Amino acid sequence: MSARDDTLARIRRNRPAGDHPLPEIPNFEPLVGDDLVAEFGERLKRMGGRIAAPVPGEDPFADVRERLDDSAVIASAVPEIAGNRDLSRVALPGDLADVDVAVVRAVFGVAETGSVLFTQDELQVNAVAYLAQHLVVLLDPADILVNIQAAYRRPDFGRAAYAVLHTGPSATADIEGVLIHGAQGVRSLTVILLPRA
């Protein structure tokens, strides 16, 4: 028996009997105003992300069109834009190491933090949100929630085998407060406010 199997067996044997429901999530006073789209955008910008609100009738990808046109490898998990890297054919996460731009749709956004939620269904390959150089996220403005507590009440967490909240591009800061984006992951994150079809 491996050490892992032994540890898991001991946990199972020593687990307290009975039903142990999760604690109730309290309703906290919102820390944001009523305009959830504006609040989301403000917090996303604070975290180094960008937000784009397309003009009706015009190219919804206008703000990222140059980046898309200049990219050699685009992995798209959305029907709104075609990519040239088929995520359904990715055998290993490392196969995405050369992706310039990944385009995915968020389940929802959180106004309080400027975060977006992805599950394995949206990403198709979980690593695409970390290995791409640039991440373009489609978000329906109607899917912006007020705070993290509202997000945790959504069933998306319980149904998903994998769920992750992203807040801006990758970043790191040293002790003197020098902030560097794209240190360990995506170098930029752009959220396009685009209603679901």
Q: What is the mean pLDDT of residues 172-188?
A: 74
Q: Where are the domains of the chain?
A: 31-193
Based on the number of CB atoms within 10 Å of its own CB, is 64 exposed (0-12), middle (13-18) or buried (19 or more)?
Answer: buried
pLDDT classification of 21: cutoffs 50, 70, 90: confident
What span, in angstroms and rounded, lies between the C-alpha atoms of 183 and 197?
34
Position 170 scores a pLDDT of 75
Helix (H) or strand (E) holding 147: none
Q: What does the pLDDT look like over 164-179, one tens digit per residue?
A: 999 888 777 777 777 6
Sequence-distant (≥ 6) Cβ neighbours of residue 144 within 8 angstroms: 36, 37, 40, 108, 109, 110, 111
Residue 7 has pLDDT above 90, yes or no: yes
**Fold (topology level) of 31-193:** Rossmann fold (3.40.50)
pLDDT classification of 19: cutoffs 50, 70, 90: confident
Position 183 scores a pLDDT of 64
pLDDT classification of 181: cutoffs 50, 70, 90: low
Lowest mean pLDDT of 28-42, 124-138, 152-166, 170-184, name the range: 170-184
Sequence-distant (≥ 6) Cβ neighbours of residue 191 within 8 angstroms: 41, 44, 49, 50, 51, 52, 106, 109, 116, 137, 138, 139
